[in-house]
Amino acid sequence: MKKNKLTISTNETLFRYNLVKGGIFSQAVFAVLLCLFSASFISCASTPSGSGRGALVQAEIDKDEGTDSEGNNISGAASGAAGVSADKNAGQSSEEKKEPFKLSEYHYSLLNISPEEYDKRTEGMSDEQKKFYAIKRTRYYDVIGEDLDYKVVVNDKEKEIIIQYEESDSDEDWHNNYLFWPWPLKLDKKVVWTSYGYAKIYKSAKNQPMDEFYSAVQAHPDYKVRIWGWSLGSAMAKITARHFIIRTKGKQDIDELTTFGDVKCWYNPFYSSKKHCIVIHEYVTPNDLISWCIPICRRDVKCKVGEKFSFKKSKYSEDYHTSYEKYDYSKWE
């Protein structure tokens, strides 16, 4: 089944409505309940952010026009991040320089946007900012099982295969987010420990996303392997990475595992996917309460971006969670 996330441009109010279905109160309660089970606390040293409070519909429109909800120019912040990244790479030889971020024609169709319009909207953004923008604006996903939204993209021009997962976008997703007690999940013949909710979602797909992704990788052995996810999708992305490592018996590395608004999903205390990932970034921002979850679990890498934690700002968690295209990634790129 395919899902169109955004049918008409004037219906932007629905674009991220389901993400915050329960409102900020629901998110805050979720974070507080989880924190009761953990003594861990997030240290909050980080870089500044350009995120602010505003209606989600207006934030989307303003983003494309280069202003925030108060009419301030935000394109400069993105340009500044890109400039820092460019300066950092200026002294590198041509052999050492990273390939610029590019989408395939198929990916543009998933965003329902032309390459020219995409370039215009992302002008001045760094590669990581563009990547999140692409994930956030993807409108068409394959949906399977308990509302697991994913898409496999084969980019022949850049020789890469991408599987990406969407954020929470339904009541069913939020219900599963709350089921955070430890649960075994069988990946092929090995068992990993994650939350009951995440295990339930991944198992409900009956391996279809993984099988589709793995088949594409086998068909293109010289292509790079990339796994992306946002929010709930970050957990699905990390489980997929672990599944891929198990299926390949650790003989093939993952070129990139990148997650935004990353949630912790592992109860396994010692295992890490890092040694099998050439690049691994799990991005969080302190005022995004969703990225605090699940405190009793662990993640492999914590890549902090955005502003320092503030109780006052954290009540706007939904805005911080949907604004990862505005943060400075120069520390990690």
Please, what's the b/e burial string for 168-196 (b: 16 or more CB within 10 A of its CB; e: otherwise)?
bbbeebbebbbebeebebebeeeebbbbb
At 231, the pLDDT band (50, 70, 90 cuts) reads very high
**What tokens appear for 13 in the block?**
């109010």
The model's pTM is 0.75
pLDDT digit string, tens, across residues 13-44: 333 444 444 445 444 545 554 444 433 333 33
Which residue has tokens 């300066």? Answer: 87
Per DSSP, 28 falls in state H
Q: Coil, helix or strand for 121?
A: helix
At 221, the pLDDT band (50, 70, 90 cuts) reads very high
- Among 24-38, 214-228, 287-301, which is the least confidently predicted range? 24-38
d(CA 228, CA 234): 7
pLDDT at 60 over 90: no
At 155, the pLDDT band (50, 70, 90 cuts) reads very high
pLDDT digit string, tens, across residues 88-102: 444 444 444 566 788
Q: Looking at per-residue confidence, does 87 or 333 come out higher?
A: 333
d(CA 63, CA 319): 12
Of the candidates 266, 272, 264, 307, which has an alpha carbon nearest to the alpha carbon of residue 288?
Answer: 307
pLDDT at 325 over 90: yes
Mean pLDDT of 225-232: 97
Burial of 83 per CB tally in 10 Å (0-12, 13-18, 19+): middle
Mean pLDDT of 285-312: 93
CA separation, residue 227 to residues 70, 87, 265, 319 (Å) = 35, 27, 16, 24
At 53, the pLDDT band (50, 70, 90 cuts) reads very low
At 158, the pLDDT band (50, 70, 90 cuts) reads very high
Determine the pLDDT at residue 7: 36
Phi-psi region of 129 (alpha: psi -120 to 50; beta: other; left: phi over 0): alpha
**What one-letter code names the amino acid at 331?**
K
Phi then psi for residue 183, to 5 deg, are -155, 140
d(CA 270, CA 286): 25
Mean pLDDT of 35-56: 35
**Most confidently predicted of 11-20, 82-91, 198-207:** 198-207
Contact call for residues 52 and 70 (beta carbons, < 8 A): yes
**What one-letter code names the amino acid at 144?**
I
